[in-house]
């Protein structure tokens, strides 16, 4: 979330309004309007696995960006904790995802 633009120091009204529009637009982007961490995980076999995330809070959202390999992936949201996430995979695969929590104000 961008909160550092010093609007009171922008004396030109048109410029101030333009910066306010930019701030609102940027802060609505999901990866900025929240706290996310990128994970890339490789699994060599089927099973249920816990993966540390170091976010310091229980993530609520996953934006999976890619999955390669034969295995299917299930994110076990109910088992996410403040220290790790849990995934079940059906076979060898690699997964890329942003995990975190989107927040709206």
Going across the sheet that includes 47-52, the strands are: 47-52, 84-89, 73-75
Q: With 0.75 as the threshold, say if the pTM is over it.
A: no
Taking the C-alpha atoms of residue 14 and residue 105, their distance in angstroms, rounded to an integer, is: 25
pLDDT in tens, 42-92: 999 999 999 999 888 999 999 999 999 999 999 999 999 999 999 999 999
Taking the C-alpha atoms of residue 31 and residue 8, their distance in angstroms, rounded to an integer, is: 27
Mean pLDDT of 85-105: 89
Task: Tell me the three state secondary structure of residue 2.
Answer: coil
As given in the structure block, the two tokens for residue 65 are 């960006």
Statement: residue 33 has pLDDT above 60: no
> Of the segments 5-14, 25-34, 66-75, which one has the largest average pLDDT value?
66-75
Whether the Cβ atoms of residue 51 and residue 39 lie closer than 8 Å to each other: yes
Give the residue among 83, 63, 88 at the shortest CA–CA distance from 73: 88
Statement: residue 22 has pLDDT above 70: yes
pLDDT category of residue 26 using cuts at 50, 70 and 90: low
pLDDT category of residue 9 using cuts at 50, 70 and 90: confident
Statement: residue 28 has pLDDT above 80: no
């Amino acid at each position: 979330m961008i909160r550092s633009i010093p609007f009171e120091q922008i004396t030109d009204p048109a410029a101030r309004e333009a910066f306010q529009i930019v701030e609102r637009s940027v802060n609505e982007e999901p990866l900025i309007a929240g706290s996310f961490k990128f994970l890339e995980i490789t699994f060599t076999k089927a099973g249920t696995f816990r993966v540390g995330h170091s976010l310091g809070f229980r993530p609520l959202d996953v934006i999976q960006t890619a999955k390669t390999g034969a295995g299917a992936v299930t994110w076990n949201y109910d088992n996410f904790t403040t220290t790790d996430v849990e995934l079940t995979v059906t076979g060898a695969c690699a997964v890329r995802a942003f995990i975190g929590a989107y927040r709206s104000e």
